[in-house]
């Protein structure tokens, strides 16, 4: 059984806000170039608007549709997280998991047997952080071959 976690809606909106500001700045620069160079091409604003729209749509699709963390029977994969460290590993390579705070964000750090780490900021994932951690523990236990104690969850 696999689990997929995406960015939370609030985080996706913040990312899109930053993207829109960058697109706005690019539009201002292009308009400034058109005016400074006295280019007579009336199609330039249409090209700028079409380009900006394409950037925004691609941003929305990549942020909301793509899985940030995927847990499956074999291991885990992390994508779209800057500074995550190791992007994918098998469960048997994971030595332990610790919860910590990095730069004010609650994170889960998976420490691998070879000394490398994977850092997942749980505050940017959709759903409750506690649910993600419990799911991660279940996958890790299964990956190491541990069985639940009868009568306990």
pLDDT of residue 1: 81
Residue 64: predicted pLDDT: 61
Domains of the chain plus CATH, in order, are 3-65 (no CATH), 82-143 (2.30.29.30)
Measured CA distances, 143 to 33, 73, 100, 119, 147 (Å): 57, 6, 23, 19, 10
- In the prediction, which pLDDT does 16 show? 73
Whole-number Å distance between alpha carbons of 39 and 93: 59
> What are the 10-residue block averages of pLDDT along the chain, 153 residues in total?
86 75 77 71 67 71 76 93 93 95 93 97 91 94 84 65
Of 84, 75, 67, nearest in space to 120 by CA:
84
Phi and psi, residue 106, nearest 5°: -70, 130
Entry pTM: 0.72
Quick one: pLDDT at residue 91?
96
- pLDDT, residue 63, reads 62
């Amino acid at each position: 059984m696999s689990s997929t976690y995406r960015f939370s809606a609030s985080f996706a909106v913040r990312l899109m806000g930053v993207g829109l500001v960058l697109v706005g700045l690019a539009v201002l620069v292009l308009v400034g170039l058109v005016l400074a160079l006295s280019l007579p091409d009336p199609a330039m604003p249409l090209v700028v608007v079409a380009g900006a729209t394409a950037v925004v749509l691609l941003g929305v699709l990549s942020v909301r549709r793509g899985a940030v963390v995927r847990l499956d029977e074999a291991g885990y994969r992390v994508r779209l997280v800057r500074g995550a460290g190791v992007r994918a590993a098998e469960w048997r390579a994971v030595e332990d998991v610790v919860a910590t705070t990095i730069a004010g964000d609650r994170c889960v750090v998976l420490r691998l047997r070879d000394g490398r780490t994977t850092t997942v900021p749980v505050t940017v994932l959709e759903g409750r952080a506690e649910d993600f951690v419990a799911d991660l523990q279940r996958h890790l236990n299964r990956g190491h071959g541990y069985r639940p104690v009868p009568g306990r969850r």
